């Protein structure tokens, strides 16, 4: 088990991430509770056991996220406020168990959990209003999401396909959910696009001179050096423009006698 609570014990299991534990013969891949543990504000995911891959045994459960444990999340019943949803870690394969902004665990915990730690595993204070509803509720798990920079592309409203040497209008909006001023903007128009980066919030019309598929991103930086960790983006597909060839001379159809000459000129 990731956490083993023996018979007769009454521990408090609060604000943890318990993941990737295996019990080959027995119950409780994530948590084994043989006593009267209080289990609150934990993320328990991707554990496995013969039974109760998430938790096996007794105890008081409140506001946990048991998700994707094998063969099941519970040997008994879920607790009050428990959820079973993908916690949306930033990069669990790389060991990054911070919560994404869109995580269902943000502001979903219990502020009255016994022994609630005043800081998360990064040293960030608990409790923070992570979902901007003006109510500070603790997050489920070891991380307390610190609201960050939001950079949004207003124009174009979606992905765009154009011909080469055509223009696309770009505009963005950026703000910091902690209230720090924005001091820099960064538009990147895609590798090989031939378009230099822009540090304007609204670059306006931008001409793409070469064909290709380009990923355009918009980001912003606060006075204390933070950027949007998930910058907004658009895909711009630039295709070859058909050749536009015009005969300037003669200006109309011509009929001539044998051995007469005609002057030709063109523009393309």
pLDDT, tens digit (0-9, with 9 covering 90-100), for 47-60: 999 999 999 998 99
pLDDT, tens digit (0-9, with 9 covering 90-100), for 60-82: 999 999 999 999 999 999 999 99
> Check: CATH 2.60.40.10 for 149-239?
yes
* Mean pLDDT, the chain, integer: 93
Distance CA 238, CA 161 (A): 6
pLDDT, tens digit (0-9, with 9 covering 90-100), for 117-151: 999 999 999 999 888 788 999 999 999 998 888 89
**pLDDT of 66:** 98
Q: If phi over 0 gives left and psi between -120 and 50 gives alpha, with beta otherwise, what is residue 104?
A: alpha
**pLDDT of 258:** 86
**pLDDT of 148:** 82
C-alpha pair distances (Å), 96 with each of 173, 216, 255? 28, 26, 79
Max alpha carbon distance in the chain (Å)?
115
Both structure tokens of 136 = 């500070």
The owner of tokens 């992570």 is 130
Q: Where are the domains of the chain?
A: 1-146, 149-239
Distance CA 100, CA 85 (A): 13
């Amino acid at each position: 088990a990731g956490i083993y609570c023996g018979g007769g014990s009454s521990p408090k299991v609060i604000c943890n991430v318990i993941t990737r534990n295996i019990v080959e013969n027995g119950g409780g891949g994530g948590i084994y509770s043989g006593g009267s543990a209080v289990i609150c504000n934990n993320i328990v995911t991707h554990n496995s056991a013969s039974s109760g891959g998430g938790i096996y045994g007794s105890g008081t459960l409140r506001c946990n996220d048991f998700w994707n444990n094998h063969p099941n999340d519970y040997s008994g019943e879920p607790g009050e406020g428990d959820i079973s949803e993908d916690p949306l870690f930033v990069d669990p394969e790389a060991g990054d168990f911070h919560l994404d902004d869109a995580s269902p665990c943000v502001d979903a915990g219990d502020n009255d959990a016994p022994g609630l730690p005043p800081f998360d595993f990064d040293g960030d204070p608990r409790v923070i209003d992570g979902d901007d509803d003006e109510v500070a509720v603790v997050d489920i798990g070891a991380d307390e999401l610190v609201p960050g920079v939001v950079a949004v592309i207003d124009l174009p409203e979606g992905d765009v396909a154009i011909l080469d040497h055509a223009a696309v209008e770009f505009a963005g909006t950026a703000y910091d959910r902690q209230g720090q001023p924005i001091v820099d903007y960064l538009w990147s128009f895609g590798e090989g696009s031939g378009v230099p980066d822009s540090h304007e919030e609204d670059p306006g019309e931008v001409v793409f001179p070469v064909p290709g598929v380009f990923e355009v991103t918009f980001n912003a930086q606060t006075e204390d050096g933070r950027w949007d960790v998930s910058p907004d983006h658009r895909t711009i597909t630039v295709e070859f423009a058909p050749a536009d060839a015009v005969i300037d001379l003669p200006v109309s159809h011509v009929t001539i006698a044998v051995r007469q000459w005609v002057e030709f000129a063109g523009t393309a």
